[in-house]
Amino acid sequence: MSLHANPLAPTPGVLDDLEAIRILDRSGMLDLTEAFPQQCRDAAAIASSFVSQLPPAAKPTQVVITGLGGSAIGGDLTASLAAASADVPIVVNRDYDLPGFVGPQTLVIASSYSGNTEETLSAYRHAREAGCRIVCVTSGGELARMAEADGAPVCRIPRGRPPRASTGYLLIPTLAVVASCVALDADSGPEALGAAIELLTDCSRRWGRHVPLADNPAKQIALALHGRIPIFYGTQGYRGVLAVRWKGQFNENAKSHAFANVLPEQNHNEILGWDQARTQAQNWSVVFLRDPLELTATPRIAKRVEVLRTVIGNKADQHEVWAEGTTLMQRLLSLMYLGDFASVYAAFLNGVDPTAIAGIDLLKSELARMEG
Ligand code: F6R
């Protein structure tokens, strides 16, 4: 990562102050983040036992993964991992309704950590009416109740965590269900998880709370972005999904605004927004989410980044973060994991509890009180 001095940064001491972190992090988001590799190990065991018990089924003609927020990202990641090899379309749906094409040959994976998200419950009912094959990934709630009453398989994941801190539990069973009926490459299917979890374990040691700011890139990126509006640019493919994940994590954990876009699309519209940005962008920071293979495998994408960086010039702060590892699974998970850590450290710099989500809770409770 390239780091510039940030005049808006507070005293960064909080990032290395374990007692201050303990007080701010009342519900243990950093514990959950540090323990993510272990969560992935547990999730792999849950997923393989679940998939081994699925009744035999015909190959679907499409897969639709439906969910919202932290429960949709597992779908996005699955679709990215499968993009190169899947022989049927994999669509992620974030709405009350499913696309019109769904029918008896569609596999619908309903993903809701709580099992009570109304859009997902509505999409589940839509799938049931359309005669789809349905599989649920949830910790319980109304989704598990309905599915069990309907005889649809439910992969039960442990309850009691924020959904966005349960990405292993949400992604890995979803991926395993998809891999049971859709072709996936060896470096992106469930068999790639072991090596990826080893890398994540090493990342957790390098990015965890005990590694001081001077040696910790996750703390450094949080500090570089403090007091600024981050714009996350994914440089292609899975980095586009991760730009949205980094944005969501900065929104939910750090309670900070953030924006995201992906190349090459950005080069066809948003690039022009930088014309007027000279004054607007004083408090913006651009973070490019990059993959080491870009330089050799997709040099035209690397060139696009180079040109875009010149267009942005000194109008905004610019940084680059890079995926680690060799397999697609390693690169995708390591780059996601860096953003998860950085967003939690950003919360501490903002003096907020990363777990609290008052605005989302208010919205859900107001909608639950509404009739119809
Ligand atoms: C909260 C979070 C949210 C939820 C979303 C849907 O940590 O990440 O984005 O994931 O509100 O709720 P669930 O996941 O329970 O279906």
| Domain ranges (residues) in the chain | 12-27+208-349, 33-184
pLDDT score for 2: 47
pLDDT at residue number 328: 97
d(CA 40, CA 197): 7
Reported as a pLDDT band with limits 50, 70 and 90, residue 12 is confident
User: How high is the pLDDT of residue 6?
Assistant: 63
Q: Which of 268, 306, 366, 371 is flagged as catalytic?
A: 268
What are 236-281's pLDDT values in tens digits?
999 999 999 999 999 999 999 999 999 999 999 999 999 999 888 8
Per-residue pLDDT at 103: 98
- Angle of helix 141-150 versus helix 118-129 axis, rounded to 10: 10
Residues near ligand 1 with C-beta < 6 Å? Answer: 67-71, 112-114, 117, 120, 162-164, 252, 357, 360
Peptide bond into 264 cis (omega under 30): yes
Predicted confidence (pLDDT) per residue in 22-81, tens digit: 999 999 999 999 999 999 999 999 999 999 999 999 999 999 999 999 999 999 999 999
Q: Nearest Cα to 162, choosing from 98, 78, 251?
A: 251
Q: Is 249 helix (H, G, I), strand (E, B) or coil?
A: helix
Indicate if 126 belongs to the active site. Answer: no
The residue whose CA is least distant from atom 15 of ligand 1 is: 114
CATH code given to domain 12-27+208-349: 3.40.50.10490
Per-residue confidence (pLDDT) for residue 364, from 0 to 100: 87
Residue 372 pLDDT > 80? no
Give 298 Cα–ligand 1 centroid separation in angstroms. 34
Ligand 1 pocket test target in 167, 343, 360 with most atoms within 8 Å of CB: 360
Amino acid identity at 185: D
Q: Is it the case that residue 3 has pLDDT exceeding 60?
A: no
From atom 12 of ligand 1, which residue's Cα is the shortest distance away? Answer: 117
What is the residue type of 123?
A
Q: How confident is the model at residue 370 (pLDDT cuts 50, 70, 90)?
A: confident
Quote the CA–CA distance of 333 and 247 in Å, as a whole number. 16
Q: How far is the CA of 111 from the centre of ligand 1 (A)?
A: 10
Among the four given CATH numbers 3.40.50.2300, 3.30.70.20, 3.30.450.70, 3.40.50.10490, the one describing domain 33-184: 3.40.50.10490
- Tell me whether the CATH fold assigned to 12-27+208-349 matches the one assigned to 33-184: yes
